[in-house]
């Protein structure tokens, strides 16, 4: 069964009296263990699609199924629970909480889900070692490099073992060296741990790291190919 199924997704934003269509009927599915890159130019709707897939936003119409559950039918609290239990996020600007240490940032999804502190800490420690930042756990985000922040963000996104990892331009704010390292890490995690990844990017070299590329143009499906 696919992890994620999108059927005829439409999203319209209202700005004053004008309606802006961000998604105009997009359908696709992501199988467990896929590493899918959503590609397209700026404004094509890839971030909107990513947000809807990650239970951050709602579609105006259409269906979105995550592990068979229809997200469109869920209220705010249930969407929050879905994000907390089934989705991991990696953003362009890392978006770690500046008030928490790296360790607490990584452990946060587990703690929010009500896991015992020691268990959450142990998981955070293990993932930090896996992504190579265990020496930075006591630091605050603003005290480490961008690459380290993004690796911590990846660890945070995976610490609660989500069904889907959503990454929005994860290398967009990194230099090419750190960007390459982050992509390599995502590929490795996808291969080794079977993590399903849905990544949005406008850069071909980033999309090349994925096993499948879905193209969008003007809010519509524009192609799907395996790499």
Partner 1 sequence: MRLFTQFILRPLIADRIRTATTVLGVALGIAVVVAIQLTNASSVRGFETALETVAGKTAVEIAGTGGVDEGVLPSLGWLREYGIVSPVVEGNAALVVGDLTSLSARDLEAVRVLGIDILRDLPFREYQLLDLGDRAAGAEATDVRDAQQDVTTQKFLEILTDERSVVISEKLAKRRGYAIGSEMAMMFGDRVGTYVVRGVLKDEGPARVLDGNFILMDIAAAQVAFDRLGRLDRLDVLLPAGADLPASLAAIAARMPDGLTAQRPSRRGEQVETMLAAFHTNLTALSWIALIVGLFLVYNTVTISVVARRQEIGTLRALGLTRRKVLFLFLGEAAVLAIAGIVIGLGLARLLADVAVGMTAATVSTIYIATAAAPPDMNWGHVWLAALIGLPLSLLAAAVPALEASRVEPTAAMRGHDTLDMRLRLRPAMVVAPIAVLLAALGLAQLDPVNGKPLFGYLSSFTIVIGAGLLVPAIMYGLARAGRGLLRRRLGVEGLLAHANLTAAIPRLSISVAALSVSLSMMVAIAIMIGSFRDTVVYWVGQTLQADLFIGPGIRPSVGQEQTLSPDVIAAVQRHPAVTAIDSFRNLDLVYQDRLTVLGAGTFSVVLEHGALLFKSPANAREAVRQAIGQDAVVISEAFANKFKKRDGDRLTLPTPQGLRDFAVAAVYYDYSNDRGVVIMDVGTFRRYFGELPPTGIAAFLRDGADPEVVRSEMLASMDEGHRAFIFSNRTLRTEVLRIFDSTFAITYALELIAIIVAMLGVAGTLLTLVLERRRELSLLRLTGADRKQVRKMVIIEAALIGAVSQGIGLTMGFALSMVLIYVINVQSFGWTIQFHLPTAFLIQSSIAVVVATAIAGVYPARRAAQLVLSHDE
Which residues of the chain form contacts with partner 1 (CB under 8 A)?
56-57, 76-77, 80-81, 83-85, 89, 91-93, 95, 97-100, 104, 108-109, 111-114, 117, 140, 142, 156, 160, 168
Residue 199 contacts residue 34 (beta carbons within 8 Å): no
Nearer to partner 1, 112 or 180 (CB): 112
Nearer to partner 1, 159 or 197 (CB): 159
CB count within 10 Å of CB 100 equals 14
Nearer to partner 1, 141 or 219 (CB): 141
224: its two tokens: 């799907």
CB of 224 to partner 1, least distance (A): 26
Q: How far apart are CA 154 and CA 157, in angstroms?
A: 5
CB of 79 to partner 1, least distance (A): 9
CB of 139 to partner 1, least distance (A): 12
Between the CA of residue 215 and those of 15, 108, 116, 170, what are the distances in Å? 26, 33, 42, 18
CB of 77 to partner 1, least distance (A): 6
User: Strand 164-168 vs strand 87-90: parallel, antiparallel, or unpaired?
Assistant: parallel
Nearer to partner 1, 77 or 192 (CB): 77
The pair phi, psi for residue 151, each rounded to 5°, is -70, -40
């Amino acid at each position: 069964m696919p992890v994620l199924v999108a059927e005829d997704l439409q999203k319209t934003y209202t700005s004053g009296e004008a309606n802006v269509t961000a998604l105009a009927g997009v359908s696709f599915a992501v199988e467990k263990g896929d590493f899918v890159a959503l590609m397209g130019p700026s404004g094509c709707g890839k971030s909107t699609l990513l947000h809807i897939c990650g239970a951050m936003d709602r579609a105006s119409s259409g269906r979105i199924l995550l592990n068979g559950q229809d997200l469109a039918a869920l209220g705010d609290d249930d969407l929050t629970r879905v994000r907390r239990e089934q989705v991991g996020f990696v953003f362009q600007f890392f978006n770690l909480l500046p008030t928490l240490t790296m360790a607490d940032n990584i452990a946060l999804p587990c703690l929010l889900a009500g896991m015992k502190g020691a268990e959450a800490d142990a998981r955070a420690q293990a993932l930090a070692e896996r992504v190579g930042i265990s020496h930075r756990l006591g630091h605050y985000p603003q005290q480490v490099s961008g690459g380290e922040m993004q690796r911590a963000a990846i660890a945070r996104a995976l610490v609660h073992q989500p069904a889907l990892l959503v990454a929005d331009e994860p290398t967009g704010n990194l230099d090419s060296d750190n960007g390459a390292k982050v992509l390599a890490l995502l590929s490795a995690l996808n291969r080794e741990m079977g993590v399903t990844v849905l990544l949005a990017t406008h850069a071909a070299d980033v999309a090349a790291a994925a096993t499948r590329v879905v193209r969008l143009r003007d809010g519509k499906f524009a192609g799907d190919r395996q790499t």
